[in-house]
Amino acid sequence: MFENLGEMLIFFWRTVKMLPQVWRQRRKVMDQLFEIGNASLLMACVLSLFIGGVLALQTGPVLVDRGLSSVIGGIVGLSMCKELAPVMMAVLIAGRIGSAMAAEIGSMQVYQEIDALRTMNIDPISYLVLPRLVAISSALPLLVIFSILVGWIGGALVCVYNHNIGVSFHSYFANLRQTVELGDFINGLFKSWVFAVVIGIVSCHQGLLTAGGPRGIGLSVTKAVVNSLVLILILDYFLTRVLISI
């Protein structure tokens, strides 16, 4: 496990050193941005709307029974900003985009297209990994912003139209504005950026390690998604500990 983590850290550093060359790969970056961002927008919208709604549905009646209905907006707002939106969007992108990255690069590795790039003196990291890493680390925070806003609306709709809660839009968003600060928003965006880097590095690294034909491609995709999810949840805990103490 530690050897694999060390390889990924070296892989990440090699990719970072290629950043001055990103302008040459701008068309690939834009293609990946469209695939990661625009093509995932509807799914992110549906997911976030129901996450916010479920959060309000679970906490609302309990808080109303205790005379704390005025704080529902703040609870939903903070939960979406600092935890649910970054983690759930990272899980969505890991399953949808991370698997695609691992499969695409893995198939190129199996069918010796990576070797052909090296023969033509083209660095696979610069040509394949860099555009994907830049795109995912830019698109995921933007998706998280959208997810936070939609989640707030989902929570508001449940609060207003559920007779067990009965909190008005004005009261909900007034408490949300009082509770959620800019730092909370930045907290979630920073988490999402870290998760995006993890997904990109793990998926591309696993794709380049692929061997053994179609079966190997399937195994690489599975490992890429599982490893990404495990690292996201582990890092979420440690990032939360660090950000709380700041």
Q: What residue spans define the domains of the chain? A: 26-245
Report how far Cα 213 is from the mean position of its chain's Cα atoms.
29
Q: How far is CA 195 from CA 16, 37, 232, in A?
A: 16, 15, 6
Amino acid of residue 17: K
Let me know: does 191 contact 184? Beta carbons within 8 Å: no
Calpha distance 188→196 (Å, rounded): 12
Residues 24-65 have pLDDT tens digits of 888 889 988 888 888 888 899 999 999 999 999 999 988 888
Question: pLDDT digit of tens for each residue in the chain (246 aa)?
Answer: 566 788 888 999 999 999 988 888 888 899 888 888 888 888 999 999 999 999 999 999 888 888 888 899 999 999 999 999 999 999 999 999 999 999 999 999 998 899 898 899 888 998 999 999 999 999 999 999 999 999 999 999 999 898 888 888 999 999 999 999 998 999 999 999 999 999 999 999 999 999 888 889 999 999 999 999 999 999 999 999 999 887
Round to whole Å and give the CA distance between 52 and 149.
10
Q: How many Cβ atoms from other residues are within 10 Å of residue 119's Cβ? A: 9
Tell whether pTM > 0.85: yes
Tell me how far apart the alpha carbons of residues 204 and 190 are, in angstroms, rounded to a whole number. Answer: 21
